[in-house]
Chain A
Amino acid sequence: MNPSERRNLRNGLLFILPWVIGFVTFCVYPVLKSFYLSLCDYSILSPAVFTGWQNYVELAGDEVFWTAVSNTLFFAVFAIPLGLLLSLALAVLLNANVRGRGVFRTIFFLPSLVPMVCLAVLWQWMLNGDVGLVNDALRIPLNAINSLLGSDLRPPNWLSDARYAKWGLIFTMLWGVGNSVVIFLAGLQDVPVHLYESAEMDGANFRQKLWHITLPTISPVIHFNLIMGLIGCFQVFAVPYVMTGGGEGPGRSLLFLATYLYQNAFEFWNMGYACAIGFVMFLIILTLTLLANKLSERHVFYAGK
């Protein structure tokens, strides 16, 4: 290396030094320690006792763990695509030549600013089986159907009914898509106008333009939102925790991986077990992200490349 390269290396490393320290302290060390602890029986007030793969063996046979996995997967499988669709739809609508775009944008973004606890208590209230707003709205069409067909349909007790609790939660989280809407909108506005113009000259209609121009051009943005959504959904903790008052929901339907991890670490004094759960979470997210990346290689189109 010549002196100028050496100087650049030194400067570069100096600038990223805070990040490096953080990386070692808050990433490398904890991940390694977490893996080690997952192989131990550890209750933080007594020293960790090495037990080998026992925690993982137990996890494999733990129905509550598998319930948590299936709850988390269920949530992710529905919340991510619904969230993407909704935010993309809103962004496309906003991108049309509408007046007062700023006002609409603000309105959609506002809910994502709401603190998690506020969100949770508000929606806990909204989803109340008897007096919640959601059911009041649902009763209107249901009563109409009842009077027509003589049936006795009632809106569900969202958060007390194991069949509907997760849908209640998904509904709640959809309210916070504002973030994604803004990101999509930024991406949409970056689509070169001349592409649309040439398409229009060829006689393309709205749907064709959307499918052949818009979506491919913003595919990196979709990819970004997808990955962020994946990582976020798998870590969901605060909202269901507050909604259930720190519990698991009816029939454990609102027990997610992060909740089970927290319970084991800070309520059952099973920190080694909690680390094992954490590690499994990590592997799941890693696998899914790599999968998403593989898929995107074929479908994501980077304009710059």
Chain B
Amino acid sequence: MFSLRHWSLHLLTMVCALALLVPRLHAGQPVVIRYWEKWTGFEADAMREIVDDFNSSQSRIFVEYSSVSQIDRRLTLAIAGGVPPDVAGIWAYNIPVYSENNALMPLRSPANEAGIREEDYLPIIWKLCSHREQLWALPSTPGNTALIYNKKLFREAGLDPERPPRSIAELEEFNQKIFKRSANGRIERIGHLPEEPGWWNTLWVQSYPDRFGAENLLGLRDGFGNFASPQNPFFTGRVAMVMQGVWIYNYIQNYAPADFEWGVAPFPTNDREKLGDISVVECDVLVIPTGAKHPREAFEFITYVNSQKPMEKLCLGQRKFSPLRACSDEFFQKHPNPHIRTFLDLAKSPGAIAFPRVAVWNAINADMRNAVNLIWTGKASADAALHAVQERQQKALTRSEARWERVKEPLQKSWNSQ
């Protein structure tokens, strides 16, 4: 219909227009990078401030912050679908499975270029960010666990509020002293309630339903479902001791009664000499997913967050301690959590451990949760439940290792060349 000349003219016009537009589009337009983060509420606000600081400190990169719920699922879908964000905030325990499935960009070279070294960080944090001899992430905010106890309940039971239990045996002793049953047979007060699975001597956990009655414990434990509320049994004084993390400060501020007195101590162990002060350390980390459109700019932002001033501002905002080795005095002075040094010391101690760095951690965790549930409700003995988990997860682990063996050579080659 139309002649070749007609079409060529059209084409020429278009090319000229584009040529004029393109420089206009690039000049002065910042590169927009998308940052998906899991936080909401005040934790999100703390990070948003840092993002705003970064955006206003330069005009080449603009970081778009999004609060994303169920971030690990959403991130998996986005990476699998080929449309990931440029920066994602996940947890350190996600790193093994993501990295082994080629979902993250290795960060050693950009870190070296930016002058970021292992010595800048607490040793356990660097370990959390690495896997299979590669660096995959840099921390945003860390967290660890300790024994949190209600001083007032200690006093009422005739215990010294400044003397927390040091061994498991002592813990149980204190537990018995604090334990009170109410008139209708339900539990009114209990010294300690093993709440989180995954790091427990499960025989010990099994003794709880045997001693206190599974139904009663379930009823009490269901109360923990409303963790972030004044009905949390720890806040209402029905439970005296729990194992919780550095984040508990925020919940106490928001939900506990005004006269709540609490103490922090390393969680009791049976072998303090060998194990040292134990604490489980986890870390919120920043990663760059495979297929991100602007990895350089993404890393620049991550570097900014990891510099001392912004990092301290972030951790202060979230009431956590800093993952960097260097820490200013001002940080401790300004920090509202009175026990922050205890948490930090625990993270530095040689007894600080991380979750097992395996790709099947999610499945193990789910299985352990299931097993503890069974033990709680008296449906299975600790031995049987754990044995079942062991069998299943061993198979899963073997399969995961087999897959790694199959793909590791080409993957490692490509990582080392980046």
Contacts and interface: CB of A to CB of B under 8 A. Distances in A.
21 contacts: A43-B102, A43-B403, A45-B79, A45-B102, A45-B103, A46-B411, A49-B406, A58-B395, A63-B388, A64-B392, A129-B222, A157-B218, A160-B222, A246-B70, A248-B366, A251-B370, A266-B73, A266-B76, A267-B362, A268-B363, A269-B97
A220 interface: no
Contacts of B290: 45
Interface of B: 70, 72-73, 76-77, 79-80, 97, 101-103, 218, 222, 290, 362-363, 366, 370, 373-374, 379, 388, 392, 395, 399, 403, 406-407, 411
Contacts of B411: 46
A266 to B, nearest CB: 6
B261 to A, nearest CB: 29
A266 B80 contact: yes
B73 A269 contact: no
B373 A41 contact: no
Contacts of B379: 251
A290 interface: no
Contacts of B103: 45
Contacts of A248: 366
Given A266-B80, A268-B362, 10 more contacts: A44-B80, A45-B102, A45-B103, A45-B290, A130-B222, A157-B218, A246-B73, A252-B370, A266-B73, A268-B363
B106 to A, nearest CB: 14
B91 to A, nearest CB: 14
Contacts of A251: 370, 373-374, 379
B399 A58 contact: yes
A129 B103 CA distance: 41
Contacts of B399: 58
Interface in A60-101: 61, 63-64
Given A46-B407, A268-B362, A269-B76, A157 B370 contact: no
A229 interface: no
A42 to B, nearest CB: 10
A267 B399 CA distance: 16
Contact of A63 (B101, B373, B392, B406): B392
Contacts of B72: 267
Nearest to B407: A46
Contacts of B80: 44-45, 266
Contacts of A43: 101-102, 403
Contacts of B76: 266-267, 269
Contacts of A132: none
Interface in A142-170: 157, 160
A130 B370 CA distance: 23
Interface in A119-152: 129-130
A45 B406 CA distance: 14
Contact of A157 (B79, B222, B363): B222
The list of the 4 closest CB pairs from A to B, nearest first, reads A45-B102, A269-B101, A44-B80, A43-B101
A61 B101 CA distance: 24
Interface in A196-221: none
Q: Max chain B CB contacts within 10 Å: which of A61, A246, A268?
A: A268
B363 A46 contact: no
Nearest to A265: B80
B102 A46 contact: yes
Nearest to A61: B395
A187 interface: no
A46 B411 CA distance: 9
Nearest to B80: A44
A111 interface: no
Nearest to B74: A266
Contacts of A250: 373
Contacts of B97: 269
A200 B172 CA distance: 78
